Amino acid sequence: MVELEKLLRRRKHRVLRLTYRYLSGRPLSGRDGYPYRRRGAGRLAGWQRQVYRLGVPATAGAVAVFPDQALTAAAAIAVGAAWRGRRRLVQRRFHREYIAPTLAAITPPLGLQTGVRLHVDPSLGNLTPRLAKPLSPAEEAARAWYGQHVEPVLRWLPERAQRGLWALQRRARPVTSRLEVFRRPGEEVGPRIELLIDTPYVTKEQRQLVSSIVGSKIPVADLVEAWHQVGPRVRARWTVRKRPPAIVGHDQVLAHFPRLAEWEFYIGQGAGDVPIVISLRDDSPHIAESAGSGAGKSVLAMLIAVQVLARGGRVVILDRKGSHRWALGQPGVDYCSRPAQMHDALLREAAEADERNTLALHEEDDWDPGPRTLIICEELNATIGMLANYWADVREKGDPKRSPAISALGDLLFMGRAAKKNVLAIAQMLTARAIGGPEARENFGIRCLARYTSNAWKMLVPEASMPRASRTLGRWQVVIGGQATEVQVAYLTTAQARALATSPSDLDNGLSRDVPGDGDMMTLKDAIDAGVLPWKYEAAKKRMQRRVGRVPAARGKRGGADLYARVDLVEWTSEARISIPPGAGGLRT
């Protein structure tokens, strides 16, 4: 009797165990080792086994009780299964072409047989389009018919549901925005290649080999690599490099410039649309630009120069070929286009810098020596040669053989920080000979490169890793302290640069103008460029000479040009439009 009770009790416990294992998705044999969430080698995961065991009887019961509704549900399930099956086929092909061969190449060098997992985002580059096979004419016709007739019907309900969800999100925004303060920021990764290795450490040689294998087997260009070896596992991640915006212009300059200190200069936008600012006090007192012809060297120099002028500073331009026509006639600009003018300007600036440094010895540390002076040396490779040739022609007996102007330029490079004398050197290839020696070139702590070659990069910034040169116009690499930052330099037209340089009050107030010349005072040319006057320049001058309409009176001078009030010019224009037929006297129609 006792033995019979033990047998029944044992069978009862066995039935309970089997029932528990069946309902929980565990193997009926009682052997564990396969996790609930992940699949084992060639077997189902626990949750998948659980779905099958509970879903099949439930489905059979529903079909027996509700046959009509079950048929509809079966059709929907069949459509979903077909879609999922097609997706699985695409994923299997992607895994077979990219992930499996890469893992097979990575695993042996690491000395591991298992414990290496690789994730590759299909949206990277053109990985998925590479797998597409060319279609036959019949397949193209079938896909076209499907896209015109079937897909709009299938997408109608999901699109309406998505629009409804967006509407609910907009209505709930006042409430959800208040809850943002409790949300912890998550890691924003985006499309990536991620490698997980079940080992605590990977050597430098192994990392280089793995990077080479990944770059060869997964053809995606311009990725940023990061290795994390803290913890029991090693993780490597390759993400898409963030790029600056394609166009940066006048509006961004107006938005950022008024917020800067006197020694800070806005030059453009970086990755993630972050403003890039350089400091002539903290980063370096001197700037070097090296780029090929047409890369925008003069545009970057102009952008910095107009900010100096807007703050009441001075600009000295050594330019033989006339790259800075915007500066002609500008107040505060000394434009030197002849070797003799360049020679005298460099001597004058070096003497003033020496005087300022002498006075600074007896002043406080934060003593201001006066307005900042920016010396722009255009095409320095040719300028140094012209200065040397000029000195060889005018040098008299007893004078030093070395050009005093070249020596003065070297003095400015060595003592310009405290004297607020800053040199901006521009050259296609900024060699040591072009700047007066290797020790002089080392004073350029801010180095800007565009359309560079490997030789130019290694010569100027060998301490920084060289990124691929961009073909986007205005895209520069700004290297400070061995760190290269990609920047889209802000572009200003000639008229915009002149207006910014001469209207600092508008900048201080943060006023934005779509076109320059919208200030209170302007010349006739400024008014025509800004669209205030509808005539050509010669036609406007003739109207003034003939006293057509209420001709505005000059309110001042800018160089040799008369300045007029904007209000007077607008009134004169409106009066002329009424009194003179369209098309007469040079009026634009």
Q: Within a 10 A sphere around the Cβ of 325, how many other Cβ atoms?
A: 12
pLDDT of residue 30: 65
What is the tally of helices (H) and strands (E) in the chain?
A: 22, 17
What is the Cα–Cα distance from 402 to 395, expressed in whole angstroms? 10
Per-residue pLDDT tens digits of the chain, which is 589 residues long: 556 565 556 665 677 777 887 777 777 776 655 567 666 555 677 777 778 788 788 777 777 777 777 777 777 777 777 777 777 887 888 888 999 999 989 888 887 767 889 999 888 877 887 787 888 889 888 888 888 888 888 788 888 898 899 899 889 988 888 888 888 776 666 788 999 999 899 998 999 899 889 988 888 877 888 899 999 999 999 988 778 888 888 888 888 888 888 889 999 998 878 899 998 888 888 898 888 777 888 899 999 999 999 988 999 999 888 788 888 888 888 998 888 999 999 999 888 888 888 887 777 777 778 888 999 988 887 888 888 888 988 888 888 888 888 888 888 888 767 788 899 988 877 666 666 666 667 778 899 998 888 888 888 888 887 887 777 888 899 998 888 888 999 988 888 888 888 765 444 444 333 333 334 677 888 777 766 777 778 888 888 887 777 788 887 777 667 888 877 787 777 655 434 433 333 333 2
Burial of 456 (0-12, 13-18, 19+ CB in 10 A): buried
pLDDT of residue 443: 77
pLDDT of residue 186: 67
pLDDT of residue 578: 39
Strand ranges across the sheet with 373-377: 275-279, 264-269, 483-489, 475-480, 446-450, 287-291, 421-427, 373-377, 314-318, 333-336
Read off the pLDDT of residues 9-68 as tens digits, 9 standing for 90 and up.
666 567 777 788 777 777 777 665 556 766 655 567 777 777 878 878 877 777 777 777
Burial of 376 (0-12, 13-18, 19+ CB in 10 A): buried
183, 102 contact by CB (below 8 A): no
pLDDT of residue 227: 92
Of 224, 136, 229, 235, which Cα lies nearest the Cα of 194?
235
What is the Cα–Cα distance from 105 to 107, expressed in whole angstroms? 6
Of 148, 224, 144, which Cα lies nearest the Cα of 190?
224
CA angle 424, 498, 262 (to 5 degrees): 50
420, 370 contact by CB (below 8 A): yes
What is the Cα–Cα distance from 1 to 6, expressed in whole angstroms? 9
457 Cβ contact list (under 8 Å, min separation 6): 449, 464, 466
